[in-house]
Amino acid sequence: MLNFIEKGMLLGLGVLTLTRDKIAQAVNSLVEEGEVKEEEAASIIDRLVARGEEEQQELRRMVREELDKARASVPLATRKDIEALSERIDALSTRLDEMTKE
């Protein structure tokens, strides 16, 4: 029964955005309604918070992985590339200024 409640809380409350306080409020409401025993509340809260943190880490990993794939497939200029182009523009600008003075 507790596992079912925990899964419902994870899905129904959007665990990725919940703070520990909001989780505690929700679990305490279940205690008041008699759905959860008071002595089990702290353990449930801890498990839900831990699960939320795990889900956040997994989501971050997945996002990083997708970003890495996108970067690999799209040619992006590096800082070094941009600095080299900037230096080249400066040099060309200087040459152009010299040519127009003549």
pLDDT score at 19: 80
Q: Is residue 28 part of a domain?
A: yes
Q: Is residue 41 part of a domain?
A: yes
Q: Is residue 84 part of a domain?
A: no
Q: Is residue 61 part of a domain?
A: yes
Domain count, the chain: 1
Are the C-beta atoms of 63 and 24 separated by less than 8 Å? no
Q: Is residue 39 part of a domain?
A: yes
Residue-wise pLDDT tens digits, 59-98: 778 878 887 887 788 787 889 999 999 999 999 999 999 9
Q: Is residue 27 part of a domain?
A: yes
Task: Using alpha carbons, select from 65, 49, 63 the residue that is nearest to residue 16.
Answer: 49
Q: Is residue 83 part of a domain?
A: no
pLDDT score at 33: 92
In sequence order, what are the residues at sequence separation of 6 or more whose Cβ sits closer than 8 angstroms to the Cβ of residue 28?
41
The domain in which residue 45 lies consists of: 2-76
Statement: residue 7 has pLDDT above 70:
no
Percent of the chain with pLDDT over 90: 37
Stronger pLDDT, 21 or 17, i.e. the higher one: 21
Helix (H, G, I), strand (E, B) or coil at 76: coil
| Full-model pTM | 0.53
